[in-house]
Amino acid sequence: MSETLTTHAPDQAAAAALLTAGAIRPRCALVMAAAEAGRLTHFAFHPERLDDTADFVVETIRARYPDLAVPYHSRWRHFEAGGVDRWRVTRDGFADPTARARAGFDLAIVSVLLDAGAGDLWRYREAATGLELARSEGLAVASFHMMAEGGFGAPWHADAAALQALDDAALAGFFQVTATNKLVGLDGRVALLRRLGAVVAQNPAMFGAPGRVGHLFDHLAGQAQGGRLSAARVLEMVLRTLGPIWPSRLSLGGVALGDVWRHPAVRAQDASDGLVPFHKLSQWLTYSLLEPLEAAGLTITELDALTGLPEYRNGGLLLDLGVLTCKDPTLPQRPLSAGDEPIVEWRALTVILLDRLAERVRLRLGVDAASFPLAKLLEGGSWAAGRRIAAQRRPGGGPPLTIVSDGTVF
């Protein structure tokens, strides 16, 4: 249910400020400060565990990328599941670089919006390879083939009309969902794509007429100056353009805030409304749009203006390796949703601790932030290490907390 905080014009400016990369770290840092002072309700911080965690991440990076040629953490890695570079074969069929970039945007945006937690049971079997894929890789490959087969409009298009007409049965069919192969949050994913279709249809200046998601590439390319475009600018455009697709949550001055929640530590320290922005899926989407932009000849600047992604692999790494511990030993068994205070607390700490982890990892690898930005740390990296330790700690490799997902945050 939506909660409108105010309707005053100054708060519209405050909302606009929250819908930026620059808003995330300062608010999360207030939660981190409370952790360092021992004032948090749900988690205790153990700084002495950061070095061992950095060692574990470095070990993971060296095993996966011995030459340290780590790509960005983005949806494109999942399209390579099982060692099959599906997009490379497809992209070579586009003679026109702009057409290729638009198709890349169509694919990345739709696939990222489908990339929330799939649950422990769901699997996707790829006919061409026989691979059985789960979680993010399965969702990526399923969406890849759905787009190839015209499930979102024409093949390699995500068209407004087709997205608006999408229903649960259609997505379930392409994603092989059955009574025994259940996908968590199926209806939430469909609703998200339908709202995407509505946003595209209602904004012909951005998406053309008839509307197509991939025309966002043309708009972003037009924002570049001297062939250079900042990652923060891409995120801002994603947040402002696609913000209306998110479920009704908090709004400020009539502006929907998306992945923004409250925590009392923020309210206590800056006398504010306690709002903490994360923009996790929007940042994941931004990371995933950088590659088609670069492939089209643009230079992306200020990569580390974005943050590490506060989700259950990165956050789970911190819990599983003891950087954070639960003050209530029953917390891991309690069902928790995205707006619950423990989850907001955990995610805020994850944002700041990923920055601190990055410093230690770079030192051990002998690299600097310019050559090894957060986008590479995540991929190399903290996300893979989080999955690795989860597999060691729990059957099925699920998260260390019990997360109730609606398919639009985790």
Strand intervals (E) in 1-117: 3-4, 43-45
How confident is the model at residue 11, as a pLDDT?
A: 81
1 has a pLDDT exceeding 50: no
pTM of the model: 0.90
What share of the chain in percent tops pLDDT 90? 81
Answer whether residue 313 shows pLDDT above 90. yes
Query: Average pLDDT of the chain?
Result: 93
Burial 304-335 (b: 16+ CB within 10 A, else e): bbbbbbbbbbbbbbbbbbebbebeeeebeeee
Q: Which two tokens stand for residue 199?
A: 């946003």
Distances (CA, A) of 141 to 76, 82, 133, 223: 10, 10, 8, 31
Tens of pLDDT along 69-83?
999 999 999 999 999
Best-predicted range by mean pLDDT among 302-306, 394-398, 402-406?
A: 302-306
Report the 10 Å Cβ neighbour count for 105. 25
Instruction: Please give the residue that has the higher pLDDT: either 350 or 269.
Output: 350
The reported pLDDT for the residue numbered 13 is: 87
Query: pLDDT tens, 359-393?
Result: 999 999 999 999 999 999 999 999 999 999 999 99
Query: What are the residues whose beta carbons fall under 8 Å from the beta carbon of 273, sequence distance 6 or more?
Result: 5, 262, 267
pLDDT (average), residues 187-206: 94
Per-residue pLDDT band at 207 (split at 50, 70, 90): very high
**Could you read off the pLDDT of 35-45 as tens digits, one per residue?**
999 999 999 99
- pLDDT tens digit sequence for 225-245: 999 999 999 999 999 999 888
